Structure 1
């Protein structure tokens, strides 16, 4: 990469994940500056995106998490402005950000994913919690359809907790994904320019991998490479790669997968702008493959056309 190129690091934004984006973006900006890149910060929540054109960047490094940054919106704006950018395009970003469409595409492609139902705020009064709980195995997981970082996610196993979890999820989105709760081992696979990096296993004592466990818990364990045999590693990486391609993912990203006690694999979701904090998983996987943080940034930019 030519270090004379000017790179705009887009982070912050106005989504519910702003705080994490600020941490991720600062880490990316620091890494680029450390490598001698002519990089500068740009927060779309504080400056009109149209003004980015005046800065004459050769590339926009997108580190915006959530709505407005990871859903195709900023990607479309950058294409309109004629500014190349990192990561997935408009379609891939929009599909991966929409958990309901993601699940539908997984199903249509024959990829393994947990059974689910969709609830909209407009029809919540018609919902029968007991029926859905029975259909989905007795315990379910609620996810706002367009949020990341496990924001608004809650589990439920009875009518009271079901309705409480639904209300929590609806605080963040008008559409909620309800899926069967998969108990077992959690894995994640970072994708980089068409390559699946080493598998990471996540261990969270006595709770699921929620916002607190992701960014602040000191008890969450990350095993990289995951302590699994070569055959299972290859299977997980293959499913992750297919899932990423199915959703039109490009450049870099991360695919989350669960394995139940019967060793069946279930795709959870695909992230097109994963966290890049010091506790984040993509840098961890890159390091396990021999790629340090600064070189990871360089690879992401190269995949973005720089």
Structure 2
């Protein structure tokens, strides 16, 4: 009888093991997907759908950075046309101040609203960076804050972020009103590098900064597409981005870019403003991305796959 009871006990153990092990195997892929811990600090990069050029908001905790938050209007700056979708988005996210504001060049879809945004969110120590020695005359003086010239090779720490300017090559006649005057700079957070380009990437950027511009994690693609206008296929292949954010609603440049994606030689994830507001989230190790983001919401989105080795 005792032997019978032991036999029954062993059968029950085997049955339970058979029931539990497959369930564990099914759950293992889900449990293997990383997610940030509740107390981890996250960098959030918003590409805001303003209807034309680039508009980026970066936040890490309470540290806030704007890049090219312009307008969809081509009216002169003196007309003071406000871009309400931009303002509504910033309000929905809960922005109450700006620490840094990068303006890549002096075109309305990139520089417009600097004065208004500084009035709303600027402080005495807010720094506005541009590609020219002086602030564009139509925007001067700033209501508050400080203007500084950002030049090729400038490297500094801003709050929790590392900033490196990689273009354009400094020249005395740079006036900031041409596409090729656009600032190119890299923001590093943890293991991730984000490259912002405005409207243009000079060939010399990849040549002069080969290590820094290789294997970029997130690229804000130039507004007007691939060569001959703003970026060469060789430079794009060298950057080999994992995630490409394409600004603007113009179908032509986006279609042109899609046609040329084979130049990269690897599979990357491409998101355009046709996908609405975009959100990229980084914990310094992992990257997530989401499209069609509702202003004020912060979805984690999909995990960006790791870089494919050669």
Query: TM tier, shorter chain?
Result: under 0.3
Q: Choose 1 or 2 for highest CA Rg.
A: 2
Task: Give the TM-score of the pair, scaled to structure 2.
Answer: 0.26
